[in-house]
Amino acid sequence: MRETLVFLTTACGPVRVGPEWEAVLLPADRARRAVDHLVRREAPLGAVFADGPVWGFVVPPGSGTPVWPDGADYRPAGTRVTLPVSPGPGSTGSLPGRWVRYPAPDRVFTAPLLLHQVATALTPGTEAAA
């Protein structure tokens, strides 16, 4: 987990996912609601980044099962995402995006099964709503 934390807090721009972490991208409106839901329930919520119209949740490797609902874009190791510039001295802000939840030593990953449940409940056309 330490390697993942160091990588996420030092890398920016287009990067290759993994091998110690993966990502789930959701449309910003649905992701915002998912973050609010997980925070209200004090669920394990790790690093979350915004890249234009999508937000990315950092999840542990192997989080592709069960299959993610429509509108969720699961990014396994080897694929690419765009990470924002880390906040702090020397940040130019010239790259798009921002950290919604900055990676923290005590919580880098979002619990994928809980995120999956919330993302499914927030998918248009499903019976349940989070």
7-23: pLDDT as tens digits: 999 999 999 999 999 99
* pLDDT digit string, tens, across residues 55-65: 999 999 999 99
Instruction: Provide DSSP, 31-94.
Output: HHHHHHHHHHTT-----EEEETTEEEEEE-TTTT-SPPPTT-EEE-TTSEEEEPPPSSTT----
Query: Is the CA virtual torsion 110, 116, 117, 123 positive or negative?
Result: positive
Mean pLDDT of 56-78: 96
Q: Higher model confidence: residue 103 or residue 124?
A: 103
Cβ of 83: how many Cβ atoms within 10 Å? 25
Lowest mean pLDDT among 11-20, 32-41, 44-53, 85-94: 85-94
pTM, rounded to two decimals: 0.89
The answer to whether the CB of 19 falls within 8 A of the CB of 61 is yes
